């Protein structure tokens, strides 16, 4: 069965009510017929549900659908994308261990790596996303994990997953991939050697800006360790949010086709605009890693970024003059969104750190929505005229 079909047809077992749409198990706990059944469940001698912090049928349906799309053996859903990131680090890294990360990552992930991991005695090394030749040199005897985003947020650097997977295997290192920007219908890192793959389901997976959620999928033995960490520390996904996200997966493929086709059209129209210094989109031949993008991605995704001439002030003025766009820190919505990373999502980085990952003062990140492509384009053009 095609994974797209599985993402639509996989469901929790139908109840006696014979419902067509999956039921919502909105409950904190589950009951047992007798003391022995309860004992066996707590002793892990059965798969019975105990407590929704541990497991829940609605949450499991969402996880099963994500595993089908990613080609993963197992998975665990969390309350947000950042709780998935944190769990993937803290489950496998301990005092004295070393993490290698691409330097172009989401701002909150950067905070975890640079501020909190060192408090636990965990070392890290940043490597340039676009310079894979430096990655091998960064490996130490205590390196336990390689963490990457591809495409990166917000600069849209593309990392060669085949190279990263081979490097991790050769050195017995866990490869941890944030696949949020691409989504599992566009890119499946496990086929290139990723051990675990995570998502902020809040973004494209939900697709309508309604709920928070995260998920980690991958090798069964690794996911079990993440499950045991999360079971005790508590970042469980709520059943209601899981129900919303599970339903959203049924339309993910068709939504991403429209997001990507809109984004490519707009990128082509803006690429040589006189008010723009540079523009990046993975499926434009001008992208520095275009060859890698077309090798591992089915389309270019729904994000465009470009640098405005005029720097920081132009970036602020651009946002202030938009008429249709939403100005918010989210992305992956049916509605087009514009943001200015230097003053928002990546503001806690130093100027030097931002410039190292190509977050320039006038950089604009566009999350291309599902509106008519000409309406999206025209709103961008009218605000560019005012700069």
State pLDDT tens for residues 54-77: 999 999 999 999 999 999 999 999
Give pLDDT tens digits for 188-245: 999 999 999 999 999 999 999 999 999 999 999 999 999 999 999 999 999 999 999 9
The β-bridge relationship of strands 196-200 and 214-218 is: antiparallel
From CA 260, how far away is CA 179, in angstroms rounded? 16
Q: What domains does the chain contain, in order, with CATH numbers?
A: 3-249 (3.40.640.10), 252-384 (3.90.1150.10)
Q: Would you say how long the chain is, in residues?
A: 387
Cα–Cα distances in angstroms (integers) from residue 339 to residues 245, 316, 334, in the given order: 24, 9, 15
| Residue 142 CA, distance from chain mean position | 27
Question: What pLDDT is attached to residue 267?
Answer: 98
Establish how many alpha carbons lie within 13 A of residue 201's alpha carbon, considering only the half-sphere containing its beta carbon. Answer: 32
Non-local (6+) Cβ contacts of 343 within 8 A are 312, 315, 316
Residue 178: both structure tokens together: 């944030």
Q: pLDDT-based confidence at 146, cuts 50/70/90?
A: very high
Question: What pLDDT is attached to residue 175?
Answer: 98
∠ at Cα 278 (272, 283), nearest 5°? 80
Q: Report the range of poorest mean pLDDT among 158-167, 278-287, 352-361.
A: 352-361
Non-local (6+) Cβ contacts of 149 within 8 A are 102, 104, 105, 106, 109, 129, 159, 177, 178, 180, 181
Give alpha helix (H) positions in 113-190.
Answer: 133-138, 161-170
Question: What pLDDT is attached to residue 356?
Answer: 74
pTM: 0.95
Non-local (6+) Cβ contacts of 196 within 8 A are 88, 174, 175, 176, 177, 216, 217, 218, 219, 222, 223, 226
What SS3 class is residue 273?
Answer: coil
Nearest to 156 by CA among 379, 357, 372: 357
| Residue 89 CA, distance from chain mean position | 15
Q: pLDDT-based confidence at 329, cuts 50/70/90?
A: confident
Give pLDDT tens digits for 277-319: 999 999 999 999 999 999 999 999 999 999 999 988 899 899 9
């Amino acid at each position: 069965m095609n994974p797209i079909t599985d993402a639509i047809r996989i469901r929790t077992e139908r109840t006696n009510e014979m419902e067509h749409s999956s039921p919502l198990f909105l409950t904190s706990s589950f009951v047992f017929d007798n003391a022995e059944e309860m004992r066996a469940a707590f002793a892990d001698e059965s798969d019975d549900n105990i407590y929704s912090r541990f497991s829940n049928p609605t949450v499991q349906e969402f996880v099963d659908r994500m595993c089908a799309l990613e080609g993963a053996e197992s998975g665990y859903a969390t309350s947000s994308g950042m709780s998935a990131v944190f769990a993937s680090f803290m489950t496998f890294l301990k005092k004295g261990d070393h993490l290698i990360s691409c330097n172009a990552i989401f701002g909150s992930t950067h905070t975890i790596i640079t501020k909190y991991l060192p408090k636990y005695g965990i070392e890290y090394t940043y490597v340039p996303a676009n310079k894979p030749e430096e990655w091998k040199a960064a490996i130490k005897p205590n390196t336990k994990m390689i963490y990457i985003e591809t495409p990166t947020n917000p600069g849209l650097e593309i990392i060669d997953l085949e190279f990263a997977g081979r490097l991790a295997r050769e050195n017995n290192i866990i490869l941890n991939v944030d696949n949020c920007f691409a989504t599992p219908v566009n890119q499946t890192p496990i086929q290139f050697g990723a051990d675990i793959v995570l998502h902020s389901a809040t973004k494209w997976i939900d697709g309508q800006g309604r709920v928070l959620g995260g998920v980690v999928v991958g090798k069964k033995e690794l996911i079990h360790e993440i499950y045991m960490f999360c079971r005790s520390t508590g970042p469980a996904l709520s059943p209601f949010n899981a129900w919303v996200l599970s339903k959203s997966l049924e339309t993910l493929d068709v939504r991403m086709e429209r997001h990507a086709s809109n984004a490519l059209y707009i990128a082509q129209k803006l690429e040589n605009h006189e008010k723009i210094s540079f523009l990046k989109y993975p499926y434009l031949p001008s992208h520095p890693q275009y060859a890698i993008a077309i090798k591992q991605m089915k389309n270019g995704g729904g994000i465009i970024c470009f640098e405005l001439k005029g720097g920081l002030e132009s970036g602020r003025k651009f946002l202030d003059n938009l008429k249709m766009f939403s100005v918010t820190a989210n992305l992956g919505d049916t509605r087009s969104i514009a943001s200015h990373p230097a003053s928002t999502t990546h503001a806690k980085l130093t100027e030097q750190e931002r410039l190292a990952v190509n977050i320039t003062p006038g950089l604009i990140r566009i999350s291309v929505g599902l509106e008519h492509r000409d309406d999206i384009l025209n709103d961008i053009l009218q605000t560019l005229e005012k700069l």
